[in-house]
Structure 1
């Protein structure tokens, strides 16, 4: 399941994002979207987890969690 993580503090690294999700199970991928021109974080990213139950637990457990003083927003990416 692909998970969108928004409202990330711009200095948060992919490794730090990965550490937030690790307690919820195996993570297939973890990326923070970067601005092509500046190379700096755009403040959101994606995490993919193959186990849907673990992904739902991660969404519920991490949504609104304060990370570096900012409440992050976590939700499943809807298939179109």
Structure 2
């Protein structure tokens, strides 16, 4: 299941995002969306978890969780978001 993570502090790394989701289960991939001109984070990213049950637990457990002072927004990514940010 692909998960959209928004409202990330721009200093959050892919490794930190990965470590945030790993306690909930297996993480297949973790990607921050970067600005093409600056190479810096745009403040959101995607996490892919192969097992839906684990992904749902992660979404429920991490939505509004504070990371570096910012309450992140976590939800299942819909196909339109996937295509726009691929």
Q: 2:8 is matched with which residue?
A: 8
TM-score normalized with structure 1 length: 0.97
TM-score normalized with structure 2 length: 0.91
Between Structure 1 and Structure 2, the one with more helix by share is 2
DSSP 3-state at the match of 1:60: helix
CA-to-aligned-CA distance 1:14-70 (integer Å, 9 cap, x gap): 000000000011000000000000000000000000000000000000000000000
Report the count of equivalent residues.
Answer: 80
Shift of 1:77: 1.0
Structure 2 segments unaligned to the other structure (5+ residues) = 81-86
Aligned pairs for 1:1-80 (under 5 A) are 1-79=1-79
Regions of 4+ moved over 6 Å: none
Structure 1 segments unaligned to the other structure (5+ residues) = none
